[in-house]
């Protein structure tokens, strides 16, 4: 996957949520304990963090995230580096998301084939971090969508690309979006147990056992 996929996912989210009123973000996002605003901030923060992981030489990073300061603004809220001024409203929130998506897309496309970045789900490459960024946007947008009254069904080919890169052990199905929701513990898939604990595999395909 490439920076274009990251930009596409962010563009879809921006278009979907552009009509949410400034005061429409305060309720919990689906079954999460975070508000819709916090979930969108977390989405932007993930894109920013992934860009940081991939932007530095792997040998200098060790086995942890780049040591940006992470903090929560309230007990139970997400620990982020990126927060958005609430006075900026919906337009500001989506602008921040777009900015962080642009950072990740630029770093992904500039990274060489040998560049690696650390992630707890496996040291990954540019292709992997692009896929991680896309999955964060797709599934967290789903977390938010029902609460704010938005219909969110991302393109099948984008969902399938994420599955092919990060979830190679999932069952074949004619609805990649439904499989992605199941793979991330968000929906049932007939004939398969609910995923209470799940991860993806970000390692490059060539480096998997």
- β-sheet bridge partners, residue 35: 28
What is the reported pLDDT for 194?
85
Confidence of residue 209 (pLDDT cuts 50, 70, 90): low
Q: Which residues contact 178 (CB under 8 A, 6 or more apart)?
A: 187, 189
Mean pLDDT calculated for residue range 141-160: 97
Mean pLDDT calculated for residue range 13-26: 98
* Tokens 């999955």 sit on residue: 135
Mean pLDDT calculated for residue range 154-176: 94
Alpha-carbon torsion 32, 34, 38, 42, what sign? negative
Name the more confident of 70 and 197.
70
What is the reported pLDDT for 63?
81
Mean pLDDT calculated for residue range 123-151: 97
Q: Is 53's pLDDT higher than 90? A: yes
Query: Do the beta carbons of residue 1 and residue 102 sit within 8 Å?
Result: no
Q: Is 59's pLDDT higher than 60? A: no
Per-residue CA distances from 170 to 1, 83, 144, 183 (Å): 18, 34, 24, 7
Is this structure's pTM higher than 0.85?
yes
| Residue range 97-109, pLDDT digits in tens | 999 999 999 999 9
What distance in Å separates the CA atoms of residue 71 and residue 68, rounded to the nearest whole number?
10
Q: Which residues contact 119 (CB under 8 A, 6 or more apart)?
A: 50, 53, 128, 129, 132, 202
Helices (H), the chain: 3-17, 36-55, 89-110, 126-148, 156-166, 176-183
What is the reported pLDDT for 206?
83
Q: DSSP letter at 171?
A: P
């Amino acid at each position: 996957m490439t920076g274009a996929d990251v930009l596409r996912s962010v563009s879809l989210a921006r278009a979907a949520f552009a009509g949410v009123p400034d005061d429409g973000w305060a309720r919990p996002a689906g079954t999460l304990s975070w508000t819709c605003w916090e979930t969108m901030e977390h989405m932007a923060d993930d894109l920013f963090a992934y860009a940081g992981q991939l932007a530095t030489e792997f040998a200098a990073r060790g086995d942890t995230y780049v040591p940006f300061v992470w903090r929560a603004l309230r007990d139970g809220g997400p620990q982020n580096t990126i927060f958005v001024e609430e006075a900026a409203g919906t337009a500001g929130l989506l602008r921040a998301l777009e900015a962080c998506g642009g950072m990740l897309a630029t770093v992904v496309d500039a990274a060489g084939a040998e560049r690696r970045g650390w992630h707890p789900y496996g040291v990954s490459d540019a292709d992997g971090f692009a896929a991680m960024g896309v999955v964060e946007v797709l599934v967290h947008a789903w977390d938010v969508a029902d609460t704010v009254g938005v219909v969110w069904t991302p393109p099948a080919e984008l969902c399938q690309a994420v599955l092919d890169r990060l979830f190679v052990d999932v069952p074949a199905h004619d609805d990649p979006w439904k499989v992605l929701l199941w793979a991330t513990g968000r929906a049932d898939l007939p004939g398969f147990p609910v995923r209470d604990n799940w991860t993806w595999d970000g390692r490059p395909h060539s480096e998997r056992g």
